[in-house]
Amino acid sequence: MKLLTSTQLGKLHPRNRVVMAPMTRNRADAAGVVGELTVQYYLQRATAGLIITEATNVSAEAKGYPMTPGIWTAEQVEAWKKVTSAVHAAGGLMVMQLWHTGRVGHSDVRDGNLPLAPSAVGIQGQQHFTPTGLKNYEVPRAMTTDEVRATVDDYQRGARNAMAAGFDGVELHGAFGYLPHQFLVDSANQRTDTYGGSIENRARFVLEIMERLVRVWGEGRVGIRLSPTLAYNGMVDSNPLATFSYLIEKLNSLPLAYLHLMRATPDAERFPTWPRDTIATFGPLFRGALIVNSAFDRDSAEAAVTSGAAQAVSFGAPFISNPDLVRRLELGVPLTPADRQTFYQGGATGYVDYPAPHADAPAAAKGYWVVQATVTEPAQFGKYTAVAGPLIASFGGRVLARGDVSQVVEGSVPRRPYLIEFPNYGTARACFESPGYQAAIALRAGAAHFDIVVVEGTTA
Ligand SMILES: Cc1cc2nc3c(=O)[nH]c(=O)nc-3n(C[C@H](O)[C@H](O)[C@H](O)COP(=O)(O)O)c2cc1C
């Protein structure tokens, strides 16, 4: 299958054309810091040619939903490093989707502050997800010109931080009705400064951000996601053909990695003048690589890449419920349906517990172990060596490998919970695993030896 062959997206070289679409999962903490479960979640899906992270807030101001991650503090960067190093150790590639929600937020999740937007135009006929249930949208506060410029700076900082966190590139979330999209469409942008009015002015915000992202990342590592024919979140433009043709033409002057284009959803039929086939209309306008998305299955995805319409296809919901999606597409076996109830609810259920019976055993066994340990002995030693015992690697209840492998980890006294990483299973010397994901590890400091209880371990 062509879908399973390697390709090139600018300077990114995915090993297959199956991309994991960005998906908000609301599993970060209140400070926007991702945790151990998020490391596991992405690691389980690292066989994707490219992973695009869930949308990630570029500033506190950008936040519109509870428990969504950020990339503006040092703590957030440190937490993302664990994700990228796990995915890289498993041979994957990963870019961060940069997010500002604009008017798609609520003061309830913004410390009482109204959402910001190009203009004081609220979303009608939809409600917003808040910690205390669904609420009507408020009328946002229009950003001043200085605030618009400061927001462009925030995206640039997000790009720099994403680089520090070890990502392979960044994608601007320019789709789905969030801030960049709000600037583009004329119903949401009624500004009279240089960021509103003509198409040229409405596209300025997006183009300024893209130039900054390229300034940080250089050639071939910045992508953009667009949904020219998606009316969701009140994204009604009087002429999407003109608006997005102009934008894409301008994007061609930047050395981008890819354009990530979303197909129309059925609600676009309400707008008879809008282009019906988004990919056929806008795809050929872009001179670089194209990732296409929305409701693709095995056959339509294969057709999209064999026809040359796109270099790669991204899958959203199927990747949530099929961590082994790439292998399932290869084998042509049925996919597990995703449980919508657990999309945004937090916790491990519906996040890291979908079975992966087709995970490639040898590759998985060579994967990257992430073991979270809680020390049960007083850790009075400044330096320790972690040695694990005989290993049984299992995944999704299946034993993948047994062996006498070991890993010596040097570090300072662990705090709890402490993350011990086994980047290369093959060189590990000793490790003990009990059924499921439970494991136990011994720590040795000099001549002294004490056991610690390990809470969780997993491998890709
Ligand atoms: C739970 C969930 C969260 C999503 N969050 C995002 C997001 O953060 N950023 C984004 O660009 N799209 C987001 N999307 C849209 C997906 O990236 C994708 O476009 C959509 O699921 C359609 O693809 P599919 O038919 O393969 O699922 C989300 C979709 C789902 C199901």
Whether residues 326 and 374 fall in one domain: no
The three-state secondary structure class of 224 is: strand
353 in a domain, yes or no? Answer: no
Is the pLDDT at 409 greater than 50? The verdict is: no
Whether residues 450 and 336 fall in one domain: no
Residues 6+ apart with CB under 8 A from 386: 407, 408, 409, 411, 420, 441, 442, 443, 444
Whether residues 437 and 393 fall in one domain: yes
76 in a domain, yes or no? Answer: yes
Whether residues 55 and 154 fall in one domain: yes
> 173 in ligand 1 pocket by Cβ < 6 Å?
yes
Nearest CA to ligand 1 atom 19: 294
Of 23, 50, 229, 300, the one to substitute when testing ligand 1's pocket (max ligand atoms within 8 A of C-beta) is 23
**Model pLDDT for residues 229-256, shown as the tens digit of each residue:** 999 999 999 999 999 999 999 999 999 9
Q: What is the pLDDT of residue 360?
A: 54
Whether residues 397 and 261 fall in one domain: no
351 in a domain, yes or no? Answer: no
For residues 188 and 416, give the distance between their C-alpha atoms in angstroms, rounded to a whole number.
48
For residues 395 and 441, give the distance between their C-alpha atoms in angstroms, rounded to a whole number.
18
Q: What is the pLDDT of residue 125?
A: 92
Q: What is the pLDDT of residue 311?
A: 98
Whether residues 321 and 387 fall in one domain: no
Active site residue 178: yes
79 in a domain, yes or no? Answer: yes
Whether residues 160 and 274 fall in one domain: yes
**Model pLDDT for residues 344-358, shown as the tens digit of each residue:** 999 999 998 888 877
Q: What is the 419 CA–ligand 1 centroid distance (Å)?
A: 30
Q: β-pairing, 50-52 with 383-387? A: unpaired
Q: Which two tokens stand for residue 319?
A: 């990747």
Whether residues 284 and 399 fall in one domain: no
Choose between 365 and 187: higher pLDDT: 187
361 in a domain, yes or no? Answer: no
Residue in 41, 178, 246, 258 annotated catalytic? 178
> 212 in ligand 1 pocket by Cβ < 6 Å?
no
Q: What is the 383 CA–ligand 1 centroid distance (Å)?
A: 44
245 in a domain, yes or no? Answer: yes
The number of distinct structural domains making up the chain is 2
> 340 in ligand 1 pocket by Cβ < 6 Å?
no
> 176 in ligand 1 pocket by Cβ < 6 Å?
yes
Whether residues 208 and 85 fall in one domain: yes
Q: What is the 338 CA–ligand 1 centroid distance (Å)?
A: 12
The three-state secondary structure class of 80 is: helix
Q: Which atom of ligand 1 is found nearest the CA of 317? A: 27
Confidence of residue 129 (pLDDT cuts 50, 70, 90): confident
**Model pLDDT for residues 320-342, shown as the tens digit of each residue:** 999 999 999 999 999 999 999 99
Query: Which residue stretches of 165-316 are H helix?
Result: 179-184, 199-217, 240-251, 278-282, 298-306
| H or E stretch at 68 | none
Whether residues 109 and 144 fall in one domain: yes
439 in a domain, yes or no? Answer: yes
Q: What is the pLDDT of residue 59?
A: 98
**Model pLDDT for residues 300-313, shown as the tens digit of each residue:** 999 999 999 999 99
Alpha-carbon torsion (110, 132, 141, 205), positive or negative = positive
For residues 43 and 422, give the distance between their C-alpha atoms in angstroms, rounded to a whole number.
13
For residues 301 and 3, give the distance between their C-alpha atoms in angstroms, rounded to a whole number.
7
348 in a domain, yes or no? Answer: no
Q: β-pairing, 141-142 with 116-117? A: parallel
Q: What would the 3-class secondary structure string for 338-406 be?
A: CCHHHCCCCCCCCCCCCCCCCCCHHHHHCCCEEEEEECCCCCCCCEEEEECCCEEEEECCEEEEEECCC
Q: What is the pLDDT of residue 150?
A: 98
Q: What is the mean pLDDT of residues 204-215?
A: 98
Q: What is the pLDDT of residue 282?
A: 98
Do 296 and 315 meet the contact criterion of CB atoms below 8 Å apart? yes
Nearest CA to ligand 1 atom 22: 294
Is the pLDDT at 389 greater than 80? The verdict is: no
Q: Which two tokens stand for residue 232?
A: 């969701």
Q: Which atom of ligand 1 is found nearest the CA of 175? A: 11
Range(s) of the domain holding residue 245:
2-342
> 369 in ligand 1 pocket by Cβ < 6 Å?
no
Whether residues 257 and 396 fall in one domain: no
Whether residues 402 and 325 fall in one domain: no
Q: What is the mean pLDDT of residues 353-376?
A: 49
Q: What is the mean pLDDT of residues 272-278?
A: 93
Looking up residue 166, the CATH number of its domain turns out to be: 3.20.20.70
Nearest CA to ligand 1 atom 18: 316
